[in-house]
Chain A
Amino acid sequence: SQQGEEDPQALSIQEGENATMNCSYKTSINNLQWYRQNSGRGLVHLILIRSNEREKHSGRLRVTLDTSKKSSSLLITASRAADTASYFCATDARGAQKLVFGQGTRLTINP
């Protein structure tokens, strides 16, 4: 399996509920980032969390990082229809400049 794997692969919830997506990785990292991609569009950067950070907030987003378990979670609170998109985690391994992306979680918010 690849570095930066998300689960679940697909998630469908009702508007107003919270959505939680998880990401696991294998190697030591400098940073972990979450991106959103609307269907057929480019990626939008959501949040970056450094390896020495455990939690970060941005608006309705909350990201946690557990380096001992090599995992991260993205929580979107009070979801909206506009949150419908694919969400990807991306890691940069120490000593490397490239980002390694997971397969993504397809999130659907039902009105």
Chain B
Amino acid sequence: NAGVMQNPRHLVRRRGQEARLRCSPVKGHSHVYWYRQLPEEGLKFMVYLQKENIIDESGMPKERFSAEFPKEGPSILRIQQVVRGDSAAYFCASSPGGASVREQFFGPGTRLTVL
């Protein structure tokens, strides 16, 4: 009964490179959320997706960041041309969805370091 899987757990990129973060939700969950956590801070919502649809991307930076949750395969958070300020822990969560928000199950996170 696997929980939310994220990979890689640690990712190092140089400025200007691309970062691709993957998230496999709990089996049967159709809702995926991405959050970013800066050191010593709480999590900040980035984007909420259902299969093949972006539902709420109000927390996504306008440029360089994109997310997808295809019909098959994991959800991907993509950061193009990374800058040092992108260094953070990125967490994915999933839920079964429904009329109201329920418990979200979090993955272990991907810690991105931009050199």
Q: Is the CB of A100 within 8 A of B103?
A: no
Task: State whether B108 touches A41 (Cβ < 8 A).
Answer: yes
Q: Report whether A97 and B103 are in contact in the complex, using a CB–CB cutoff of 8 Å.
A: no
Residue B69, interface by CB 8 Å? no
Spell out A's residues near B (CB within 8 Å). 4, 30-31, 33, 35, 40-45, 48, 88, 90, 92, 96-104
B 20-54 to A, binary, CB cutoff 8 A, 1 in contact else 0: 00000000000101010000011111001000000
- Residues of A within 8 Å of B104, CB to CB, are 33, 45, 99
Is A99 within 8 A of B102, CB to CB?
Answer: no
Which secondary structure dominates where chain A touches chain B?
Answer: strand
Q: List 17 extra interface pairs beyond A42-B108, A88-B43, A98-B48, CB under 8 A.
A: A31-B100, A33-B103, A41-B108, A41-B109, A42-B106, A45-B106, A48-B102, A92-B101, A97-B33, A98-B59, A98-B101, A99-B33, A99-B35, A99-B43, A99-B45, A101-B35, A104-B41
Closest to B50 in A: A97
User: Does B56 reach chain A (CB closer than 8 Å)?
Assistant: yes
Within the assembled complex, what's the spacing in Å between the Cα atoms of A92 and B55? 15
B105 touches A4 (CB 8 A): no
Question: Is B100 a contact of A100 with CB atoms below 8 Å?
Answer: no
